[in-house]
Amino acid sequence: MRQIVLDTETTGLNPRSGDRVIEVGCVELINRRLTGNNFHRYINPERDSEEGALAVHGLTTEFLSDKPKFAEIAAELRDYISGAEVIIHNAPFDVGFLDAEFARLDIPRFADHVAKITDTLVQAKEMHPGKRNSLDSLCDRYGISNAHRALHGALLDAELLAEVYLAMTRGQNSLTIDLAIAETVSVVGDAAATLPIAEIMVLEATADELAEHEALLDRLDKEAKGTCVWRTPAN
């Protein structure tokens, strides 16, 4: 089973307004094991990054000026992902940008090249309803260190997401074994003990924190020239 964990960095939030992909990072899993066969490319978008995006990834126009254009790496990327299950956190964002890049080159959309697209954000929301499910939050939840992550980077985020995905889905491997063991264990009377449920603590945001959050979303809306992804209603 070949799986590819993928992440991108972009010049902004909206491919429809001309924002471009500037970095693609992928790590390969075969039978749930990292192979080290990674794909990582910086890309010259032929435009500047928006201020908000630059603050996230730190990839300047000067740094990207001598990097290949997307057309030069498109075939290599397609070959790398071909036929694999591709795992992405908030897949509509990354796939939307890659579809826009492919469309500029008259290449079929991203989904046509892969076996399946798995969105770990959707999985996380189903597993942890009502909780924060950003990549950083999931790293904290599953005990995965991201202390070295000062800025977002496509390859680094793909590596972190691979660890998160394996932690999220670890129980799927042992399900059959657990069922087999359960069938051999006999429980006499009420011998099975019930563990107490720990008290759930809920920390609500303060009024100042909510105001700062709304102000940030307003700035992102302005930079995206529309509604940013964090204002999109959950399905």
Residues serving a catalytic function are 152
Cβ proximity of 158 and 6 under 8 Å: yes
Q: What single-letter amino acid sits at 96?
A: G
Q: What string of DSSP letters covers the chain? A: -EEEEEEEEESSS-GGGT--EEEEEEEEEETTEE-S--EEEE---SSPPPHHHHHHH---HHHHTTSPPHHHHHHHHHHHHTTSEEEETTHHHHHHHHHHHHHHTTPPPGGGGSSEEEEHHHHHHHHSTTS--SHHHHHHHTT---TT-SS--HHHHHHHHHHHHHHHTHHHHHHHHHHHHHHH----TT-SPPPPPPPPP--PPPHHHHHHHHHHHHHHHHHHTS--GGGSPP-
